[in-house]
Structures are given as structure tokens and as C-alpha cells.
Amino acid sequence: MVGDAQEMRRASRDVVIGYFEPHGRAETIVRAEGLEVIPRRKVEYRGRVFEEMDTESILRRHPEVCVVDEFPHSNIDGLGRTKRWQDVNALLAAGIDVLTTMNIQHLESLNDQVWQLSGVRVRETIPDWVLKQADDVVLVDLTPGALLNRLIRGVVYPPEKSQQALENFFQEPTLVALRELAIRQTAHESESHHGDPGEPPHQPEGSAERILVVVTPDPSSAAVIRRAKRVADYLHGDCLAVGIANGKGADAVDRHLGFARNLHIESQMLEPEGDPAEAVVSFARERGVTQIFLAHSKPAGTIQFLRTPIDEGIIARSPDMQVTIVGSRPRL
């Protein structure tokens, strides 16, 4: 990214660094030499001083291009915008081009898969629709062997952090799998930007998929939402979500629907008087849904508010519809 910025500078484009985190890496610091840097903003929070990107100063300076490292970063409270990707959107809205970076494990729809591969639940995520806004997505490819070498040589982190990283995220099979995810995602982004004129997408008869996610109070709902959205995106289809308001789980369902909305999924609460499964299926028919996505129901007794497991209830009541029970992806 910094190399590209240097090339732009040599081509006399007005490029500044809005935020850059060299992590004390000498070779990275050298690469940024000569580029104008907009000083970070110091923010005090609970007695500590944090440095954040100074979006307002960048907007005032209004360069042609701005370099913003660590796209998935969450801002400290009290800055207005809670996520760096929201700062980037503000820059874009003002007509400033942005170069930014992220690692694949921060993509929202891959969150469960990343957990499965690494045991790490990544908290700072980028919704897929945000990545989709990018005009270009470029893969920075490196073999896991080379990355591990860099880590061991202390290029990436200071020694004590390196050791910690080697024991956690930086295990070879995890890195190989993340790399494959990154390559596939780049291919997917490239495809959705440029279409595939060679082979028109093959749509089964009866047009596009419309996927309905059934949201329950169970925490597995988040994984089902992510999976459904990912499948719908890949199939160029639609995704909807419904929750069933029912007694004490309603708050959790509400939270899950809010999460779905953040991923740009049209979401609503159903308030059925009768059988919840029947309500879901009627809603699906009304909205022309082709496929219903559900979590595995927990063994009877854990979801008291539904008398029969909802997956069985819904499959039973929708002989005209496809139903996908989403796997729970245990840790490898």
C-alpha cells in the first residue's frame, strides 16, 4: 500500500498518510519516507491517551488520495464514528480516494469459519457490503512459511508478542487456510466487479434465490445469519431475516435482528399468535422465498418457548420449499 502511495507521489498526485501503523517495523517505516503525514488525534479515555486517525483534519486538508492503515480498527469511544471504516466512508463521501488494508480474518461473513480454523473470535469486523464498495481489491500474497520466517526474525512483532502469536493465530495450517480464504475472496470480489463475460452465470430456472433466515434467541443465530448472507451474496440473491418474538428470548432475538440489519439484511420481528413455524412459513410464501436457513435445534428442553424443535416444525410445514440446516462448524 505504501509502495503504491510512493508511486502516486512520484506521479505528482496529492497523496497523504491519514493513518499508518508501522508497528515499529524498521523496513516499513523507511518505505513511508517522504510522504506527508496528517498527525493523529490524541484522545483521552479513562485516564489513558489513545491516538486515532484525525478524520476532520484530513477532510480539511482534502488531499486527492489518503492512505489509511488497519481498515477494521474500532475507534475509542467518544469520536462520533465507532469504526474506522466509517471514517473511510466519510473520506470517500468527500471525494477523497482511499487506499486501505485489511486481513481476511476481519471479514464479517467469515467470522465463524475463522473461529473454526483458529479458535480466535475476531471482534473487529468489516461487513461484506463495505468491502464490496471497493473499486479494486488486491491480494497481498505471502506463503505461510515466509510469514512465519518474518515473525521468527522479529520483523512483524516484538519478541514477546511474536512468541504469543506463534502459539495462537500463527499456526501453519491456520495460516494456509486463511490464505486460501483470502485468495478465494479476492477472486470473488474481482468477479463481482467485472462480471464474467466468458461464462454467463448459470441460474437455475425460476430466477434468483431468496433466502430467509430464521432468528431465535440462541447465540448460533449469528452464524446462521452470516452463512445465509454469504450464500445469498455468492448466488447474487436476496437475504431476509425474521425473528419470532416470544417471551423472555425477545431481547436476544432483537439483538440478532439488529446484527442482521448491520449486514444490510432486511429484518423483522414476527409476532405470531399461533404456531411460530407456521408463521415463518407463511411469511416465506408471501415474500417469494426459495430457501429457509435455520440453526440446528438444540435438544428438546433447551428451547422451552418452542414446543417442537423449530427446524422440524418448519421442514414439516414447507413441503414446497427448500430448507437448509446450517452446520455448527466445530473447532478443527
CA distances from 12 to 5, 9, 28 (A): 11, 5, 22
CB contact set of 115 (below 8 Å; sequence gap of 6+)? 121, 122, 329, 331
Task: Report how far residue 293's alpha carbon sits from residue 82's, in angstroms, rounded to the nearest whole number.
Answer: 31
CB of 284 to another protein, least distance (A): 13
- Binding residue for another protein (CB under 8 A) from 92, 139, 152, 155? 139
Q: Does 56 bind another protein (CB under 8 A)?
A: no
Of 152, 166, 306, 321, which lies in the binding site for another protein, with binding defined by CB under 8 A? Answer: 321
Q: Which segment (37-45, 54-62, 63-71, 181-189) binds another protein by CB under 8 A?
A: 181-189
Per CB under 8 A, does 194 bind another protein? yes
Residue from 235, 253, 280, 281 binding another protein (CB under 8 A) = 235
Backbone angles phi, psi at 114, to 5 degrees: -65, -40
Decide: 91 and 59 in contact? Cβ < 8 Å: yes
Cβ count near 45 (within 10 Å): 12
Output 188 or 255, the one with its CB closest to another protein.
188
Residues in the chain: 332
From 30, 94, 120, 183, residue interacting with another protein (rule: CB under 8 A): 183
| Cell, residue 126 | 468489516
Q: Where does this chain bind another protein (CB under 8 A)?
A: 113, 116-117, 136, 138-143, 145, 172-173, 176-177, 179-181, 183-184, 186-187, 190-191, 193-194, 196-198, 201-205, 227, 231, 234-236, 291, 296, 311-312, 315-316, 318-330, 332
